[in-house]
């Protein structure tokens, strides 16, 4: 087989390695390390199956398409919405887990953002409170607190 590089995709044509699509994750002078990334039908799979194949045995493989490239465009918007939902849910759950710091951060944010004309502070101080509150909310909500 021609030069194989990391991230190439191969499919076995002989027995010895379970059927599927394999991504090359490592190369050495005598061997190639493969990670199975799709089942025998080419559907994406997170298997964790790693196989080391001798360079001389690569004749039992053929080049294959990247299974990630064959994902339907219709799945992308749904996946984006689902990921956004779970990210927001995790963020809010993390904030709720620490209510006192979260309330202080939210207060700083609200006063800084909407306090003009209500709180007798200069605009630069309000802007500083806004940034501090926003930064604290992000810091706490991402689990770094």
The pLDDT tens digits of the residues spanning 123-133 come to 899 999 999 99
Q: Which of 80, 81, 27, 83 is nearest to 54 (CA)?
A: 27
Statement to judge: residues 136 and 98 lie in one domain:
yes
Higher model confidence: residue 117 or residue 70? Answer: 117
Statement to judge: residues 95 and 131 lie in one domain:
yes
| pLDDT at residue 119, as a whole number | 86
CA distance 13 to 1: 13
Beta strands in the chain (DSSP E): 9-12, 21-27, 31-38, 50-54, 61-63
What is the number of domains present in the chain? 2
Residue 132 in any domain: the answer is yes
Residue 2 in any domain: the answer is no
Statement to judge: residues 55 and 80 lie in one domain:
no
Three-state DSSP class for residue 52 = strand
Statement to judge: residues 137 and 82 lie in one domain:
yes
> Please, what is the average pLDDT of the chain?
86
Q: In what order do the strands lie in the sheet with 50-54?
A: 50-54, 31-38, 21-27, 9-12, 61-63
Q: What is the pTM of this model?
A: 0.49
Statement to judge: residues 63 and 16 lie in one domain:
yes
Statement to judge: residues 53 and 83 lie in one domain:
no
Q: Is the per-residue pLDDT at 29 higher than 80? A: yes
Statement to judge: residues 31 and 50 lie in one domain:
yes
Question: What are the pLDDT digits (tens) for 54-105?
Answer: 888 888 899 988 887 655 555 566 677 888 888 889 899 999 998 999 999 9
Range of the domain at 135: 75-141
Statement to judge: residues 80 and 132 lie in one domain:
yes
């Amino acid at each position: 087989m021609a030069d194989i590089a990391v991230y190439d995709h191969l499919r076995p044509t002989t027995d010895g390695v379970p059927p599927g699509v394999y991504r090359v994750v490592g190369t050495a002078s005598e061997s190639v390390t493969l990670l199975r990334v799709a089942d025998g039908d080419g559907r994406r799979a997170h298997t964790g199956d790693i196989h080391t194949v001798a360079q001389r045995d690569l004749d039992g493989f053929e080049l294959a398409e990247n299974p990630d490239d064959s994902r339907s465009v219709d799945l992308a918007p749904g996946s984006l919405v689902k990921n956004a939902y779970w990210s927001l849910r995790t963020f809010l759950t993390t904030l709720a887990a620490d209510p006192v710091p979260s309330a202080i951060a939210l207060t700083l944010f609200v006063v800084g953002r909407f306090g003009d004309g209500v709180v007798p502070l200069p605009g630069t101080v309000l802007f500083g409170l806004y940034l501090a509150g926003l930064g604290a909310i992000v810091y706490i909500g991402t689990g770094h607190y």
